[in-house]
Chain A
């Protein structure tokens, strides 16, 4: 009798779990799983809004191998990521370490100053940064001018356009900084005291105490940073429209154009799947290498 009551309790739990979780389960099937399968199928067709659909097998994927513009878009995206992600992680960690010092007062005020830019609408920031990066009267080059440096024509020069966007990406460090601050506050102070007794200098304490203790946060910031950076879109759409000379033609912008400007949705779906696979692969590699350096406590 007890067993049946136990079972009925369990099945009641099961029932309630699925009742409460149903919005997300339905949403997952309707807005995620279903569309993903549809997208995989679409990528094997020549679907375009304008023409009758035909199954083309792996044709789209073969096309991708020969697509010069795609190669450029991948290169641009990788280039941007390679600068923006490590730089963003380093700056946000540095700021967090400075703010975490015991001798700094007014921490929440400083924290706000670093955090506010990161919640600002990306379109407003994009338009602001076109103005800041303006070659003659923009704030950035005016600042450089103080030191006698003639700043580049950021968004007008293919050699500098991506770096201009990397510079702009620093406005988004706030979120990561808060994560790092929380992590740093979780490092027990006796570890630093012990290291100090052992004669460790500042850099050694950072290298051998701080980094291992917050390695999970560093890892999280790098993974999310990579995923987000691969999906950069709005900045290049609003600020440069992929230019100059396709130097800011990023992957998602290229995908967007194929889907919604040229209506080649079959090819665009194949592009989306490549992006999906690449991001999963890179995340997987990060997870595997993380086993060597990330410390998750007990």
Chain B
């Protein structure tokens, strides 16, 4: 009974409790609705890729029926073998891997050097060059496409791999910017100490900066991998013989060469092309996400 005075307006407290519990339910309902919306949207985004895989193992009879079967009644894996026999996919894959490896190595070396310059040194003209760097990040590249083609043709590089990897050894503006942002966050004291110990400038770059920047370098490698692997326009311009085609070029040729479209084979070839990028994402996804936020586009 001693507590009685505390509950002076029993009616009021109960209405408060009712209101707060109904508010709680409203909140839960809202959360539930949000979950349903987000899940439905996410499924809608992922479904086309699921459809690619599913189509590649459907028998012909199941391809053209309505409604389409969401899960094949029978699985046919022979479309993969057929696609491999139809076009030299292994060759294409080899070419793409070769070019991708060279591009990744080129980007890691050149971009880290240049980013080191912008992060560590002040020089007359360095600010202007940084603005130029940022500008080239935004500007369209089609203006340089034709003269570059003419130059590479003059060098006898048409239908060789060189035009598709040599430029990577001269840096890419976006990746340089990304690395520079990361390098800036490494404290100067580390380098001062090394300098006093007599480490050369190059040793500071190689033994201090690079080992401390592994996550950023991983991001650079991933972005470059994805760009080279997915690139279509430049292989299209420079490569014309069958044995030098990349997987992107080979896949579109495969489609264009068909008189009646073999969807299962096309989807099988697409799955093969997509697989390396998908694997890269699954194992290294945090670098994809961190890379984007690293460019300081947060605010």
Contacts and interface: CB of A to CB of B under 8 A. Distances in A.
A139 B51 contact: yes
Is chain B's binding surface mostly helix, strand, loop or mixed? helix
Given A123-B273, A145-B67, A183 B297 contact: yes
Interface in B126-167: 126, 129, 132-133, 136, 138-140, 142-151, 167
Contact of A35 (B43, B132, B148): B148
B299 A231 contact: no
Is chain A's binding surface mostly helix, strand, loop or mixed? helix
Nearest to B278: A116
A121 B229 contact: yes
A16 B298 CA distance: 31
7 contacts: A14-B121, A18-B123, A114-B42, A178-B289, A217-B297, A227-B138, A276-B140
B148 A20 contact: no
Interface in A1-52: 10, 13-14, 16-21, 23-28, 30-32, 34-36, 38-39, 42
A128 interface: yes
Interface of A: 10, 13-14, 16-21, 23-28, 30-32, 34-36, 38-39, 42, 95, 98-99, 101, 103-104, 110-117, 119-132, 136-137, 139, 142, 145-146, 171, 175, 178-179, 182-183, 185-186, 214, 216-217, 220, 223-224, 227, 230-231, 233-234, 237-238, 252, 255-256, 259-260, 265, 268-269, 272-273, 275-276, 279-280, 283, 296-297
Given A127-B252, A214-B299, 8 more contacts: A14-B124, A17-B122, A24-B114, A114-B41, A137-B68, A142-B66, A216-B297, A237-B252
Given A23-B171, A42-B147, A124-B274, A104 B38 contact: yes
A67 to B, nearest CB: 17
Contacts of B63: 137
Band of interface residues on B: 35 or more
Given A20-B121, A103-B31, A129 B48 contact: yes
A18 B297 CA distance: 28
Nearest to B63: A137
Contacts of B136: 28, 32
Contacts, number: 271
A279 B138 CA distance: 9
Nearest to B276: A121
Contacts of B277: 119-121
B288 interface: yes
Interface string B248-292: 110110010000000100110010011001100100010011001
A125 B49 CA distance: 9
